[in-house]
Structures are given as C-alpha cells and as structure tokens.
Amino acid sequence: MRVSIDKDSGFCFGVVYAIDMAEEILEEEGYLYCLGDIVHNDEEVARLKAKGLRIIGHADLPNLKNEKVLIRAHGESPETYRIALENNITLIDASCPVVLKLQNRIKTSYDDREKILIFGKHGHAEVIGLQGQTNNDAIVFQDISELEDVELPAKFTLYSQTTKSTDKFYSIKDELLKRGYEVKANDTICRQVSSRYEDLALFAKQFDRIVFVSGKKSSNGKVLYEVCAKHNPQSYFVSDLDELSVEMFQENESIGVCGATSTPMWLMQQVKEKLEGF
Ligand code: SF4
C-alpha cells in the first residue's frame, strides 16, 4: 500500500501553544495540574500524563490551594478565575486567543443587553466558557430542531463555537431569518478549522481510502471527518492503532492519513507505519 500523511493535518496553533506551555512547566517542576483533558486526544493526554500532567475536573478545583493549574485552549468561564483567586491558585492560562476573542465579543453583547444564541455542543468545555460570559443566560443549541420548543426573542445575536461547521452555521442563520427573526449573525468559526475543509476535500479525493485519526470527543474531528467521508466514501474514523486491521484494506491501495486539530503528528506517523506493515 502507498501511504501518505496530510501535511496540513495535526495540531492547530492553539493546541501547540497549550502543550508547549505544559511541557515547559513539566520539565521544570515535574508536575502540573490541568483543568480537563488538555486536548481531545487520549493518546496525547497519556503521553503528557506520563510526564507529570495531572488532569482534574471542575469539582476538584475548589479543593486545591496554592498550586499551578493550566487552562487549556478551550478557555474557562469567569467562575474558574474566581475560585482560583480565592484559593491562591496560579492559573497558567493557555486559552486560545481565538476563543478569548470570542468570549470577549459575547461578554460585550451580553453587557449591551443583547439576547444571545450559541450554536455549540452541549457540555463542551469551550461552550461552557462562552455561556459563562452571559451568566448562563445564553441559549445553547447543537441542532436547529432544539429551538422548536423554545420561545425565542424576536431579535437576537447568534454566535458559534469555534469548531462548528461553517455550512451548518449559515444554513441555521438562513433558517432563522426565514422564520421571521431579526438575527445578528457572527461567524465566529475558527479559520484553523474551516480553512482545512477545502484542502482536506482535495486530499481525500486523491486516495483509494482515507484513515482519519481523531479522538472521539473532538468536535472538529467530527466535522473534518464528515468532509473526508463526503469526498471519499471509503473513509475510516480511527482513534487508536488497535482499530486498524489488515482486512480493512486491499492490496496496492493508496491510503491518505489525516486528522483533526487535536491529533498529534506522531500518532498519524504511527498509523502510517502500521499500514505500511500490512
Ligand atoms: S481550533 Fe482554532 S480556536 Fe480552537 S484551539 Fe485551535 S486555533 Fe484555537
């Protein structure tokens, strides 16, 4: 089989920044707390845990005092900063600048008394941080069908989680306008994700088969995999090497390996090596 890795796949700058920051402190101090998985990729999390990264949940934060805690690229809600201040916790803030800018825009809208809707995944860390800017007043939805039972204001501002699909965002905007609402729509989708659509579509078409490598919890992983599957129906979504078996492929096939903004290059490299060994 001929196997090639997409050179544009892999960590976005937000994830690189957070991981670099964590590794620097781990090297100096031997351990570091991190609020939630540093990246939605179990293999990369395991690699960093082996270096001393201690993943904690939000319920653990109030019990921690006088420690350093890393905030990952997804950002946090104001409540986290408040607890940190109270407990003398030093926050190592690796919130992605793109997410921080979006948090600020939502906060400004909220302070201007706009009604806010956020197109995002329920329970996703970034979305919780965004909603926190509005004192949890913003309406979050991940599918337009969820809005059918909700009484919406006649006029509102629409935002999006940074890793959502641009096509879906605009079709939601159009649908809401068609329903007669006055919608101020802000396309706040990260270009590190959306700019990959076109290149990934071209990449996916070049091969007999695609192996898309991503953690199952990654939002942009789902979106980018859909792009691959649309342009190459012979696409597999895999999270670790054990999910690959020789029966999935045929002799002399060309295989393209690609991944999400949370997929480490070393993992795609291991996938390539395994495929070449079949
Ligand atoms: S996908 Fe974009 S917003 Fe999210 S961490 Fe990466 S650069 Fe930041």
Q: What is the pLDDT of residue 32?
A: 98
Atom of ligand 1 nearest to the CA of 126: 4
- DSSP states of 111-156: HTT--EEEE--TT-HHHHHHHHTTTT-SEEESSGGGGTTS---SEE
Q: Please report which confidence band the pLDDT of residue 106 belongs to, taking 50, 70 and 90 as the band edges.
A: very high
Crossing angle for the helix pair 13-29 and 97-111, to the nearest 10 degrees: 110
Report how far ligand 1's centroid is from the alpha carbon of 53 (Å). 21
223-262 confidence digits (pLDDT tens): 999 999 999 999 999 999 999 999 999 999 999 999 999 9
What residue's CA is closest to ligand 1, atom 8? 14
24-46 confidence digits (pLDDT tens): 999 999 999 999 999 999 999 99
Q: Percent of the chain beyond pLDDT 90?
A: 95
Q: What is the pLDDT of residue 248?
A: 97
Report how far ligand 1's centroid is from the alpha carbon of 29 (Å). 27
Alpha carbon of 129 to those of 85, 109, 220, 237, 265: distances in Å? Answer: 17, 15, 17, 28, 28
What residue's CA is closest to ligand 1, atom 7? 14
CB of 224 sitting under 6 A from ligand 1: no
Q: In what order do the strands lie in the sheet with 53-56?
A: 53-56, 32-35, 68-71, 90-93
163-175 confidence digits (pLDDT tens): 999 999 999 999 9
| The model's pTM | 0.90
* Averaged pLDDT for residues 64-88: 97
Q: What is the pLDDT of residue 219?
A: 87
Please provide the average confidence, as pLDDT, over all residues in the chain. 96
DSSP 188: -
Q: Please report which confidence band the pLDDT of residue 126 belongs to, taking 50, 70 and 90 as the band edges.
A: very high
Report how far ligand 1's centroid is from the alpha carbon of 93 (Å). 14
Residue positions annotated with a catalytic role: 126
